Structure 1
Amino acid sequence: MSISFLNAGAHARLTARIEQLAPDTPRRWGTMSAQQMLVHCADQLRVSRGEKPVTSVRLPGFLKPLVKWLVVTRLKEFKPGMRTLKELDAKAGMTPLTTFADDRKALLALIEPAQYSPAGVKHPVFGHLSAQELGEVTWKHLDYHLRQFGA
């Protein structure tokens, strides 16, 4: 079993790492600023919760389990250079930035475990994700970006 952001201990560690970030925290790779990364990660959760529509990827239903298996189950960690959905791209479709403090606050609110049902979510790319699967893939994504900024 992988680490899940829905687990109290992992959630506390993620929160502490997010709190370490500052607007001028330098990136180790990629092109996003720390603030763009906060919004990108918040948008990933908005997509998972059905609050941000995805139109850039339309998979036939029979392919969703395969994509889910590859990304959620087989992928141990996100790696530099992986592509993202257009809706999460800092140059294409990401939610507009506000202030660093407000964007951090929004991400922290979205990772609050109490908001998530044990039944999971209906993800537009992966199909149904159990709460455990959502927790694990989101932890991998957040960990990747926090490592990107040395947090």
Structure 2
Amino acid sequence: MKSFFEDGVYEEITLRLNQIEKDTKPQWGKMNAGQMFNHCQMPLNIILEKEDYGVKPNWLVNLLFKKSMYSDKLWRKNLPTAPGFKITDEKDFEKEKQEITTLIDALNEQRERTDWQPHPAFGKLTKDQWGKMQYKHLDHHLRQFGV
């Protein structure tokens, strides 16, 4: 699995993100493009220490899901979303696209950083694990929209 912090990944993600238009239809799932951009901001806000969304450690979640967050295996389509991360209300596409772009830019500016805070649910993660987790989540949703 690629890491967000690898050379060229920021450019890849940015290019793919910019291929999504307001009317781009998902290949699976219920979110439209604006909702997906809003949803994808959440893990970025967590790593950038802007928000924790009330996420708490859970030994069962750690046992069952932590390794899948940064493993090389792609996530399958239509995976269930954690309740606090579901987006069902309508979102302004342009606003959400600008916000996710700002967050991706901010994370890229910190790509050399090595002292990341523990994840609120998964605990201590290495820089590589954080980078893979961010890439994997973004890649999953960009593939959802065909890019």
Give me the TM-score of the superposition, normalised by structure 2.
Answer: 0.83
- C-alpha displacement of 1:58: 4.2
**Contact 1:23 1:34 survives alignment (8 Å):** yes
3-state SS, counterpart of residue 122 of structure 1: coil
Deviation of residue 86 (structure 1)? 1.9
Structure 1 residue 54: deviation in Å? Answer: 3.7
Q: For residues 60-106 of structure 1, what are the alpha-carbon distances to aligned partners after superposition, in whole Å with 9 as ceiling and x for unaligned?
A: 4x974764234323x611211212222210138xxx83x32221121
1:80 and 2:77 are equivalent in the alignment: yes
Amino acid at match of 1:78: W
Matched, 1:114 2:109: yes
How big is the alpha-carbon RMSD for the aligned residues of Structure 1 and Structure 2? 2.4
Q: Which has the higher contact order (CA 8 A, sep 6+)?
A: 2
Whether the aligned pair in 1 keeps the contact of 2:3 and 2:132 (CA below 8 Å) is yes
User: Sequence identity, in percent?
Assistant: 28
State the aligned residue count: 144
Structure-2 separation of matches of 1:45 and 1:37: 13
- Residue 120 of structure 2: which of 107, 120, 124 is its match? 124
- Confirm whether residue 25 of structure 1 aligns to residue 18 of structure 2: no
Partner of 1:71: 69
Letter of the structure 1 residue corresponding to residue 128 of structure 2: Q
Go from structure 1 to structure 2 and tell me whether the alpha carbon gap of 1:102 and 1:27 turns closer, same or farther (over 3 Å shift).
Answer: same
- Deviation per CA, 1:23-76: give whole Å up to 9, x if none: 10011100000110011001121133343334465414x974764234323x61
For the 8 Å contact 1:32–1:90, the answer to whether it is kept is: yes
**AA at the equivalent of 2:110:** Q
Q: Does 1:90 align with 2:83?
A: no
- Paired residue secondary structure (1:134): helix
Gap regions ≥5 residues in structure 1: none
Where structure 2 has 5 or more consecutive residues not aligned to the other structure, the ranges are: none
Cα distance in structure 1, aligned partners of 2:15 and 2:2? 16
2: CA distance between counterparts of 1:13 and 1:69? 24
Q: How does 1:3-22 map to 2 (within 5 A)?
A: 3-22=2-21
